Amino acid sequence: MRYRKLGDSDIEVSEISLGSWLTYGEGVERDQTEACTRAAFDAGVNLFDTSNAYGRGTAEQAWGEILSDFERASYVLATKVFFPMTETDRGLSREQIHKQLDASLDRLQTDYVDLYQCHRPDPETPIEETMEALTEVCEAGKVREIGFSEWTLEQIEAGLEVAGAKRWVSSQPQYNMIWRAPEAELIPYCAEHGISQIVWSPLGQGVLTGKYEPGGDPPSDSRAASDAMGWAMDRYMADEVLEAVQRLRPIAEDAGLSMVTMALAWVLREQNVASAIVGASRPEQVHANAEASGVELPADVLEAIDEALADVTVTEPKLAGFVAEGVKHR
């Protein structure tokens, strides 16, 4: 496993990280969660990414129990805040950041998180209030560094401009061989301002593994076949996308790579990407994902990938789901 620096911080993260969206505490049983987590440590993974919203706290709780068996300094723990936890608890106000962080720390059974991320922007709250609250929890020793997920450039810049506030070190966008939207504006801007990407869905919700055939039923043990885990896959399950992905098979075979390794290595070719967050329901998937670390794709392979996916790639900036544009100031 290779490691990369997280933005301008002194934190180093594994190129492959383990995420818990739609899986741990919800779609994947406790014993599988523990097996995957232990496999991650065995494979050299040190970054574990979750959110208070995943399973309304159940993902954090599952990892709190499991990670308590490991030395706290041996891993980098990241969680998030924004989405509703109750009918009245949501957003990025000072009150919510303090309240939700304390609840997350309690579920995670730790005194601090290494990275606290604003899961989406909150233009209903003054950006100054949000940044000041994030700075307060860092100064209290509860958070080491801060990041955001799926903010617009206007919102990112507004956060950087708050005087005396803690600075962003990470961005968490969707990014993969099909969804290339961050390349247009986000990645260049972040590279200029000392902010790294830790990307979600680098395998396109598993579609880039090639296991989903056009017109066919998904494998019974796959994410797409699960009501709990498959609801967010619609954009990737179109036949034209699945057909394009099948064109990647011979490219991977000729390069002597698995589809998984090729897809993850493609994401990691971008130096502004510090880590690719991958979910897993079985330990062997964790080890297969980890094999992509350090793999460099030659130019002819990158060109072949571009040609195979030319009709289905998303290259222009796009708003993610649940993102409201704009910035509120005091």
Using CA atoms in the order 86, 54, 212, 270, what is the torsion angle rounded to 10 degrees? 120
> Could you confirm whether 3 is annotated as catalytic?
no
Query: What is the C-alpha to C-alpha distance for residues 235 and 216, in angstroms, rounded to an integer?
Result: 16
Q: Active site residue: 24, 54, 175, 236, which one? A: 54
Strand partners, 273: 197
Query: What is the C-alpha to C-alpha distance for residues 16 and 279, in angstroms, rounded to an integer?
Result: 10
Query: What sign has the CA pseudo-torsion 141, 142, 145, 148?
Result: negative
Helices 283-290, 259-268: axis angle to 10 degrees equals 50
What is residue 328's three-state secondary structure? coil
Query: What is the C-alpha to C-alpha distance for residues 118 and 106, in angstroms, rounded to an integer?
Result: 19
Strand partners, 85: none
Q: How far is CA 217 from CA 9, 200, 212, 220, 225, in A?
A: 45, 25, 8, 8, 8
Question: Catalytic amino acids?
Answer: 54
